[in-house]
Amino acid sequence: MFNFKRYMKHQQKRINEKLIAILSTSTHHSQLLTAMEYSLMAGGKRIRPILCLAAAEAVTDNTIDILSTAVAIECIHTYSLIHDDLPSMDNDDYRRGKPTCHKAFDEATAILAGDALLTLAFEILSEDSQQNHDPHHQLQVIRMIAHAAGSPGMIEGQMRDIVSETQQLTSDALEQLHNLKTGALIMASVAAGAILAKASDQQKQSLTTYAQNIGLAFQVIDDILNVKGDPKRMGKAVGTDVRLQKNTYPGLMGLDGAERKALELVNNAISALNSFDNRAEPLRGIANYIIYRDQ
């Protein structure tokens, strides 16, 4: 029987060891490197890199060569959190149970640490293309991740999130915002694993449907936890969305409506995996984890 907790711990260990190995070769200024390590190794769930690995596992038995791509995605995600927490953005004091990067160091160091992690990610991806993968496939992955993390994806979503404060968005506009801000990198994580594992067109389409649904579900649950989550469990403050007058699913359709929406999305994601065998159990487990998580 598939043990989801054991699987997650195993993958988190692999990812953390790879991140430590990459940082250990760095020649960055000590304060910059310390800030990068501080944020990267603060105990994140590693959902995005694990999704990359799990998507590949649904297609092939060998994911060793995909680990570098997975950790590059985690570097991008961590950079986005550092910048998201800045006073000019969400102005959060805590992340993953610790002071945010700009609180532990200073704003300038936090900005530079985020910048360094973003560029490190593409250094990892480009080096990986020379060593392990078909160059065409790796270039496709690099282009896709850049698109998801940049102005057509996550950055556009963040911009929309900022400018829509104090405005009331429609359901369609809110969904589009979240698909960009949160969903884009999640979709890229799954797609990267599928591409590097040489998934068939049908497999890639099913995995895309899965990723679209869990990407939005993840953000809906984030919105819900910002209303009723336990700050100690989450490692960050709750109620910030209301304070910043952000558009959220609980604000749009109430807590019950938001919870129904999240469950519907997760069920859709799991249904998209019907054509896969038990090698897709990690993906199914992640979908269930998203709906029941408390942090």
Which pLDDT score, from 0 to 100, does residue 129 have? 55
Strands (DSSP E) contained in 154-198 are none
Which pLDDT score, from 0 to 100, does residue 205 have? 98
3-state secondary structure of 253: helix
d(CA 283, CA 272): 11
Q: What is the model's pTM? A: 0.94
> Within 10 Å of residue 164's Cβ, how many Cβ atoms?
16
Per-residue pLDDT in tens (0 to 9) along the chain, 295 residues: 889 999 999 999 999 999 999 998 877 779 999 999 999 999 889 999 999 999 999 998 877 789 999 999 999 999 999 999 999 998 889 888 899 999 999 999 999 999 999 999 999 999 865 566 788 888 999 999 999 999 999 999 999 999 988 888 999 999 999 999 999 999 999 999 999 999 999 999 999 999 999 999 999 999 999 888 777 776 777 778 887 788 899 999 999 999 999 999 999 999 999 999 999 999 999 999 998 887 6
Q: Enter the DSSP assignment of 182.
A: I
The CA–CA distances, whole Å, from 145 to 58, 221, 249 equal: 20, 24, 27
CB 220 within 8 A of CB 261: yes
d(CA 20, CA 13): 11
Which pLDDT score, from 0 to 100, does residue 26 have? 79
Do β-strands 94-95 and 98-99 pair in parallel, antiparallel, or remain unpaired? Answer: antiparallel
Give the CATH number of the domain where residue 143 resides. 1.10.600.10
Q: Which of 243, 244, 255, 248 is nearest to 168 (CA)?
A: 248
Domain containing 59: what range?
4-292
Domain count, the chain: 1
